[in-house]
Copies of this chain bind each other. A is one copy, B any other.
């Protein structure tokens, strides 16, 4: 049997404690599967004297994660602190500089500093693994980096923020307003310390940017992700989309086009009977498309102690087994600088607006669409509320430029009571 693989774990929140439990409870299984013992040497967290429900006295303690990252008696630095900068970044850099491999669940860190860290790892002949950073327990980083490595990847899509999906499905099932469910989610502890990371789509955007880098062999380009959160989604949007057979999901899409890398994370409509439409609560789904394999769909828990710890363990086990793949699937220095392009692929759109009670009002809207070259698939007008009538339109496929031209023309008609809502429809 090989010598033990020695871990230093920084961060003892839900995920860190989950990892400690697995290593304690499954020592034999892990040794069987990797051919060597996996042991924890030292740990670090913000507070030492707190009952975390698992014995920690066997392990050396470090107050400072940077000190942990330097210890001679660890082989792998397991970074489960979170935060794109500060101690997580400093400790990760220190670990690499001191000849440690790194396993992390930190999407923000990698989305913002992934290129520099991957280059640092390569120079030091170390690896950085981050299965737990994307889609919780779903082994999607491995599927993309290794399982589909014989493909040119054509598109990556996914619902990758369980909190947003919880809020959207809960709004629909309970008929509650966004603010009410947001408050519920907050009470339940589902939201990040800065909730905008979740509901603003930032966390999901980080994940999409990481998958894009692997898929397209480009440097992580989080700034290139067109971001739109779910804060503007109202219960009316949800109910009226449901009326037309759709559900609203915060969906990420990344694809390489002739004009560059398109990445967007935004609310979309999906058919309610589709696999994405049926995704409930905190479940994540990722769709990977390759030129050889066609479409692969992966579904599973996107967060939580067990699923996320499972992903961290798979990286640790890989390292124990001697699996060493470059951070983003090819050498970091060979990753191309992506030219980010505004997402432009044609799609049908869902339009919702309040039409003023004036003769010829609908004709003006219809004319604006026609002049932009957009044809109508389905339309529904409801009874007037006060002096305006809610109207829903599902268009045939159109470009985003055409849609924007139509929306600009709408503004000139003076027949709308408020800003129209336009949401892209994706069929998955």
Contacts and interface: CB of A to CB of B under 8 A. Distances in A.
A385 B152 CA distance: 57
A22 interface: yes
Interface centre among A32, A139, A142, A297 (most CB of B within 10 A): A139
Given A32-B330, A294-B306, A334-B32, A131 B149 contact: no
Interface stretch (A308-316, A372-380, A395-403): A308-316
A273 interface: yes
Nearest to A305: B292
B325 A310 contact: no
A306 B330 contact: no
Given A26-B150, A146-B318, A325-B321, A297 B294 contact: no
Interface centre among A22, A143, A330 (most CB of B within 10 A): A143
A139 B143 contact: yes
Contacts of A318: 146
29 contacts: A22-B150, A26-B152, A30-B150, A32-B330, A32-B334, A35-B331, A137-B294, A139-B146, A139-B296, A142-B142, A143-B143, A143-B147, A146-B314, A148-B310, A149-B313, A149-B317, A151-B310, A275-B275, A290-B310, A292-B309, A293-B306, A295-B300, A296-B300, A297-B298, A297-B299, A297-B300, A298-B299, A322-B324, A323-B323
Interface of A: 18, 22, 26, 29-30, 32-35, 131, 137-139, 142-143, 146-152, 217, 273, 275, 278, 290-301, 304, 306-307, 309-314, 316-318, 321-325, 329-331, 334
